[in-house]
Amino acid sequence: MRITNNMVTSSIVTELQQLETQQSAIQSEVSSGLAVTQPSDNPEAFGQVIELQSQSSQLQQFGLNATQALNVASASYSGLSTMQQIYDRASQIGTLGAGAANPSSLQGYATELNQLVQQAIQAGNSQLGGSYLYAGTADSSPPFTATTDSSGQITAAAYAGNTQATAIPISENGTVSPRTTGATNAGIADFINGLIALRDAVQGGDSATIGAATSSLGASESVITGAVADNGAVQARIQSEQTQQQAMATQDSSMISDASNADLPSTMVKLSQAQVAYQAALQSSASIMKLSLMNYIVLQ
């Protein structure tokens, strides 16, 4: 088979293009620090990287959800803690009122209790990001409504939310409800009404009635105490999930780096070899092309 000058030239050009492509790919690997950027680089490693990146994205979303849930739980705890403080002062007033005989002192206690009633309703209607915390899923409207008399004094409170709860996914197999339950929310309304009953009893000045109202208020406050305990458990669970997710994210990041990052010392050696091979090919090609040209002149 006769090898023509065109065939030699085409073969040389093809080889030079292949060497140049190889050299360019290695240079890109050196500059980016990545050995795997597309399936053709290493199909197995590329598939592993894609899977790890997907898992990392999922962990990131769970992390955002956990942060949101923790913020809600923390805000809920703040309101519950305020109600406990209201109870502590109200029970003190109940004890003082039961032993007071001075009408002016009783009126002063009743005035303070009236302020505590208003403060309790305000705490019950706490919001986070425009959503009411103690309303169940009906969180676009105030969950606690007040009935007032002609003088503007609150005479009763009612719960206007629902008993449904929002579950937030914080892991692949776990969700959490960072808000209070419907039973707790209804208990908050009972607590507020207990404050109102104690205020009215103090205004009436009867020691037995004041004592009964104080005792009843303590019973309704136990719901809030239980909610505080539940809230603490929820926060602890969220924080535990966050710790695990951070560890998993760090591990995934390390595995992605191991699978995709280039071994720079080895890559630099390969780049040097590719450059030498390309230069040698250029020199050889120049000699061959020169010889072919001379042959052509001689043949002519």
Per-residue pLDDT tens over the stretch 163-192: 998 899 998 888 999 999 999 999 999 999
Residue whose tokens read 């197999």: 173
Both 225 and 116 in a single domain?
Answer: yes
Phi/psi of residue 51, each to 5°? -65, -45
Report if residue 46 sits inside a domain. no
Looking at the 3D structure of the chain, how many domains does it have?
2
Report if residue 66 sits inside a domain. no
Q: Please give the model's pTM, rounded to 2 decimal places.
A: 0.71
Both 95 and 177 in a single domain?
Answer: yes
Q: pLDDT, tens digit, for every residue of 264-299?
A: 455 554 545 555 555 555 566 556 555 554 454 444
Both 230 and 189 in a single domain?
Answer: yes
Report if residue 65 sits inside a domain. no
Both 25 and 143 in a single domain?
Answer: no
The whole-number average pLDDT for the span 108-117 is: 96
Report if residue 53 sits inside a domain. no
Both 176 and 94 in a single domain?
Answer: yes
Both 167 and 218 in a single domain?
Answer: yes
Report if residue 122 sits inside a domain. yes
Report if residue 230 sits inside a domain. yes
Domain that holds residue 276: 5-33+262-299
Query: Of 214, 234, 254, at which residue does a domain stop?
Result: 234
Q: Is the pLDDT of residue 131 over 70?
A: yes
Report if residue 115 sits inside a domain. yes
Residue 210 near residue 91 (C-beta atoms within 8 A): no
Residues in the chain, total: 300
Helix and strand element counts for the chain (H, E): 6, 6
Q: pLDDT, tens digit, for every residue of 39-71?
A: 555 565 555 656 767 778 888 898 999 999 999
Report if residue 133 sits inside a domain. yes
- Give the CA dihedral 190, 195, 198, 204, nearest 10 degrees: -110
Tokens standing for residue 293: 């040209």
Both 125 and 230 in a single domain?
Answer: yes
Residue whose tokens read 């849930």: 69
Does 78 or 36 have the greater pLDDT score?
A: 78
**What H or E segment, with its residue span, contains residue 171?**
strand 168-171
84: domain CATH number is 1.20.1330.10
Q: pLDDT, tens digit, for every residue of 18-30?
A: 555 655 655 555 5
